[in-house]
Amino acid sequence: MQIHGNTILITGGTSGIGLAFAEEFVKHGNTVIITGRRQDRLEAIQQRIPGIVVKQSDIADAAAREELVEWVYANYPATNVLINNAGVQLAMDLSQPVDPRRIHEEINTNLVGPVHLGSLFAPHLANQENPVIINVTSGLAWLPAAFMPVYCATKAAMHSFTLSQRWQLRNTNIKVIELAPPSVDTELGHDRRADKTQSHGGIPIPEFIQEAMAALMEGELEAAIGGAKDLRAKGETIFEAFNSRF
Ligand SMILES: NC(=O)c1ccc[n+]([C@@H]2O[C@H](COP(=O)([O-])OP(=O)(O)OC[C@H]3O[C@@H](n4cnc5c(N)ncnc54)[C@H](OP(=O)(O)O)[C@@H]3O)[C@@H](O)[C@H]2O)c1
């Protein structure tokens, strides 16, 4: 994809991969809008990086998604790139009753949100120059880590969905890209760590961004980054060995 001169909406830009993409795309001369639920974070980011536009929005809420689209049309009608990045990752013990609110939270955020938002934006994007939808999935789309079963299922679903979305939009000029990160050291899943500042593990964010930007510039439509390439290649054939690590 062209990496300059776009107007880009990134869901979930208050930390981690979304924030790093926002900073990188601003450096490349794009107008960047980020969303998230945490208003304090959004305000702090806007003060630190005045080039970033912020908008509080909950991707798990259908009315908020519709309001976001109306706001973008009214304020940033040149928006031509949607990055469906917001996500949550929850561990679940399936040998005990699971709280259905946690299941809904994960599915609404990681699957329902990007599916609905992509469909709301598609008619608008189809009339823009160089329109792109990027769905951030995961290497775990191909190989589930069993302790976070619903998270992995949402990512596998988003991988499948992206194939269908790309097919349905093939007669428009919208490029549909799947970007599958490996384990990256962000705040993801931090609710299961006693010390919230503790590292998530994974590769440093700048290393991920460098490789991801290269893949986007190359025009890869299914960009598995770093270790995610291996997970895509080996997938469920290494399920037992992979899950024995946790
Ligand atoms: N880090 C990894 O190892 C890894 C690996 C593969 C894929 N990914 C994917 O990469 C994406 C970004 O994750 P990350 O690693 O950067 O994690 P992160 O640092 O926890 O960032 C997650 C972002 O999503 C936002 N978010 C969560 N729920 C939201 C909601 N309901 N509405 C709006 N925004 C919401 C958060 O903002 P608020 O809390 O302010 O709402 C935050 O900005 C996710 O889709 C994740 O699944 C990450």
- Topology of domain 7-244, CATH: Rossmann fold (3.40.50)
Number of helices (H), then strands (E), belonging to the chain: the values are: 9, 7
Check if 16 has its Cβ closer than 6 Å to any atom of ligand 1: yes
Contact call for residues 153 and 110 (beta carbons, < 8 A): no
Q: What is the DSSP letter of 132?
A: E
Check if 83 has its Cβ closer than 6 Å to any atom of ligand 1: no
What pLDDT was estimated at residue 189? Answer: 85
What pLDDT was estimated at residue 5? Answer: 97
Distance 135 CA to ligand 1 centre (A): 12
Check if 226 has its Cβ closer than 6 Å to any atom of ligand 1: no
* Residue extents of the structural domains in the chain: 7-244
Single out the catalytic residue among 25, 121, 151, 242: 151
Beta bridge partners of 179: 136, 223
What pLDDT was estimated at residue 198? Answer: 66
What pLDDT was estimated at residue 203? Answer: 96
What pLDDT was estimated at residue 192? Answer: 75
Distance 16 CA to ligand 1 centre (A): 7
Ligand 1 atom with the shortest distance to the CA of 14: 43
* 82 torsion bin: left (phi>0), alpha (psi -120 to 50), beta (else): beta
What pLDDT was estimated at residue 190? Answer: 77
- To the query of whether residue 73 is one of the catalytic residues in this protein, the response is no
Ligand 1 atom with the shortest distance to the CA of 41: 40
CA atoms within 13 A on the CB side of 14: 21
Residues 6+ apart with CB under 8 A from 211: 225, 226
Separation of alpha carbons 61 and 65, rounded Å: 6
What pTM was estimated for this model as a whole? Answer: 0.98
What pLDDT was estimated at residue 195? Answer: 65
Q: Mean pLDDT per segment of 10 residues, for the chain of length 246 residues?
A: 97 98 98 98 97 97 98 98 98 97 98 98 98 98 98 98 98 98 92 68 95 98 98 97 95
